[in-house]
Structure 1
Amino acid sequence: MVRSSLIVPLVIVMACLARGATVAYYTVGGDVGWTSPPNITPGFYDDWAAGKKFMGGDVLEFYYKGTQNVALVSKEEYDRCEKVSKVLAEGGDGGGYGYRLPANANGMYYFISTIKSHCEGGQRLAIDVASSVPFMSSLSSDSLSVLVSAVLSALFIR
């Protein structure tokens, strides 16, 4: 039997964990997709991302218009539109790539196209990602183990 004093904290923990089970899918660029100039202008993807709340576990779907690729890069590479040695995916019209943000993602994520001058022309995306379970992101694995053990122990104490 669960003690009545544990019901409220347990409900709060369960509510926080429930967001982790919900995944949002975002088509990068909306109907325009992941494309290059002249189909977009500098800042197009920033405008598309504005007002969206990206969470760990969400999926970014890059649908290609023309020959494209997508690379996950550092802020410095993003700022310089620097080519990287490895891209996440590449393809042509009608192709695409889905990138699932890590569940514990927290902070800025940067994506660019490394084809010709696409990035310089605006084919780049910077998003701010929040952890899907905010209070959990700051816990170490040891702290998390202690928390889970304490909750489970409390549930089974008579």
Structure 2
Amino acid sequence: MVGSGLIVLLILAMTCLTRGAMAARYTVGDHVGWTSPPNITSGFYDDWAANKTFMGGDVLEFNYKGTQNLAVVSREEYDHCKRVSKVLGEGEEGEGYAYPLPANANGMYYFVSTIDSHCKGGQKLAIKVTSSVPFLTSLSSDSLSVLVSAILSALFIR
């Protein structure tokens, strides 16, 4: 007979493995999209994010309104709208960029537009990302596979 603790552990491990299939997709700014002033006000994207819970594996969809780009930046670059050289996606109206948060993401993520004064005008987003299973965030996929294999082996040993 299999112990109830082992069954709970197996269910937890399987939940971790299927987390990617349950990842949420967020359209940044909803119908407004990723745009610059005068279409938004300062703090617009922070207000948009305020009632959402972002988790590792979720996808942020930045739908461009006008000529736009996107950069993931540090807190300092976000706070001071510093120009960065690494831009993830540039595009025109109707294009965009889908940013998948890493599966083991945990902490703050900062996004800005680097075009002209868009960032200073409010085209920036700061989100807090939490892990879906905190104690497993440091495990590599290989380690997680070994854990699941060990659990499955234990289930079938009499």
State which drifts further: 4-13 or 106-115. Answer: 4-13
How far residue 132 of structure 1 moved from its aligned partner, in angstroms, is 3.2
How far residue 153 of structure 1 moved from its aligned partner, in angstroms, is 2.8
Query: Which residue does 2:112 correspond to in 1?
Result: 112
What secondary structure, in the 3-state scheme, does the structure 2 residue paired with 1:69 have? Answer: strand
**Partner deviation per Cα, 1:9-43 (whole Å, 9 max, x = no partner):** 32333345443431111110011000000110000
Query: Which residue does 1:63 correspond to in 2?
Result: 63
Query: Which residue does 2:42 correspond to in 1?
Result: 42
Q: What pairs with 1:71-150 in structure 2 (closer than 5 Å)? A: 71-139=71-139, 144=144, 147-150=147-150
Alpha-carbon distance between aligned partners in 2 of 1:53 and 1:146, rounded to the nearest angstrom = 30
What secondary structure, in the 3-state scheme, does the structure 1 residue paired with 2:70 have? Answer: strand
1:32 and 2:32 equivalent?
yes
Q: Is the 8 A contact 1:19 1:133 kept in 2?
A: no
Query: Which residue does 2:156 correspond to in 1?
Result: 156
**Partner deviation per Cα, 1:65-105 (whole Å, 9 max, x = no partner):** 11110101111111110111110001111111111111111
CA RMSD of aligned residues (A): 2.1
1:3 and 2:7 equivalent?
no
Q: Is the 8 A contact 1:20 1:133 kept in 2?
A: no
Alpha-carbon distance between aligned partners in 1 of 2:63 and 2:100, rounded to the nearest angstrom = 14
What secondary structure, in the 3-state scheme, does the structure 2 residue paired with 1:115 have? Answer: coil
**Percent identity over paired residues:** 75
Q: Is the 8 A contact 2:10 2:152 kept in 1?
A: no
Alpha-carbon distance between aligned partners in 1 of 2:77 and 2:147, rounded to the nearest angstrom = 39
What secondary structure, in the 3-state scheme, does the structure 2 residue paired with 1:47 have? Answer: helix
Structure 2 gaps of 5+ residues are: none
How many pairs does the alignment contain?
Answer: 157
TM-score by length of 2: 0.88
